[in-house]
Structure 1
Amino acid sequence: MSGAKALPTALRSWAEREVGVVDDVRDASHPRENSRVWELVRADGCRFYLKIAPKARMYERETLAMRHATPALGAGRAPQLRASSAEHLALLTTAVTGRPVKELPLTAAEEYEAHRQGGLLLARLHAAGDLTGHWRREAEGALYAAAQGVDKQLEQAGDRLTPTERALVRNLAAELRMVGPLPLGFIHGDAWPRNLLWSGSAAWIDFERSRFAPVVQDFVALACGVWADKPRLRTACFSGYGRELTPEEGHVLKCLSGLEAVSALTWGEAHGDPYVTARGRRTLDRLMAGVFA
């Protein structure tokens, strides 16, 4: 492909020591500068992915997820870690069958089932891992930390928000500081249709934002995105998940969506992504109109 990113020789050698001789290398990066992912194909057709994390924190989170949480999803429902290199922030994983739901021409029934299974897998993920010690303390403080970041987010957003919208987002952030205990778990952190694969069965990929947190945080991207257009997919997801959100979680979802909207507006314009920008604007409009649910 034109402008394809080349896999460094040292990393190819490292990968081949782990999985054998690679017959083909294909750039699988997203169209942004800090995305570096390659599909490796052996002569026998077996596929792997080599990913260089954009930041050390993302490398640590994805490595932790694959070692301690994603096995709970079941075989073929998430990548398996074959090797990792802290020196290069690199992860070598198995490939998962399927394509992102976002890219597939699914029937209504297939789309419903994909999201139902996606919710089922999130329930398994949320119950995985060892939620003790500093992991629990981090999870318990996650909403307060999110609220504390509102000033920086609004500063970065600049005049993309009206004074009334800025006041609304500040109020929503303030309400997060007063929330009581919520169900905690190991969340995916970027659960939306781009990272949900479908091949007749569902799988989740891309765990670089995974962490212990209130589990409601895993539904923000969906609530601000595909659920706004297709509320039946919300029903599908929670059918698989095994429960609806509590009233307290529903309120927190609304508050977090205000912060997500600001982040989407800023990130989308900075990276030339009109989809993300539009998602942020629509979420703010829904919040202002009082129709967010």
Structure 2
Amino acid sequence: MKDLRHLGLGFFCSTSDNRITTNRKFKLSNLTLSKFLNVFYQNLSDFVVLLEISKRMNLSIFRLGSNMVPFASHSNLDKSWLKMIEKDLKSASEAIRKYGVRITMHPGQHVILSSPRKEVLDASLRELEYHFWLLDCLGVGNDGVVVVHVGGVYGDKKEALKRFIFVVRESSWLKERLAIENDERFYNLEDVLWLCERLNLPVVFDYYHHTINPSDFDSKMVLSSWDGRIPEFHLSSFPTVSKKFNEHGDWIEIEDVLSLENLFKGERIDVILEAKKKEKAIERLIELAQDNGVVLSARSLMKG
């Protein structure tokens, strides 16, 4: 049997049927204190359930939904509302400690630190401030990174990279949790390694993006960028039928897990499985692994 128990697994935001979720949202036009609190407390309650599910499946990591606190970074939100919920968030930190699941976040692609537009940059920084504040309130340690992409090239890739570097150096608080992921279009792993070397930030290796937008790289450099912390990587498989470029599949194929392992042989890594079927995809993957003589760390939700 091939032992891959050094690969910690996890899923993101919600269960596959979306009934249990940390990502509920509503229209901005409906923003009232009662609506805000109602949705937040539903998200918070489900977060604890998702931690329980992750623990039962022997998972190591969970990605918290960015809509956990609705409209937290929006200018329309009364910031005193955030103060009202801090105590509840701190109470949830006890559940995180109890279940021992690593928590990270990954805001949407509207967060662009390389943008030449001031309004985009300002909104991006507000969104990241919210993510950092949320993880701080939850008592998450420095392994709770906030993952971003570099963004677009805007006609000049070198200038875009320079802007990214300038913004991070100007807003030095970003270095507390920021991590950078390679993407499938503009910034491959070699680009991200170059950037992270200059900023002393960790690299989040996305295997699927690397297959689409490949580059040569030194696996030791990726691992050392985490400075002793367990790296967070992302893994997904191609869909059976692709409707659009970069679409993730419903499931994770064992061949992709083995290919990832081949790149980072024997290293302890936490892997967010970005499959549409989420926890169901993990269950299926465990069965595939067993059929192929491979031992993974997770166990069946139904048998847990």
Q: State whether TM-score is above 0.5.
A: no
Relative contact order (alpha carbons < 8 A, sep ≥ 6): 1 or 2 greater? 2
> Please, what TM-score do these two structures have when normalized by structure 2?
0.28
Q: Which has the higher helix share?
A: 1
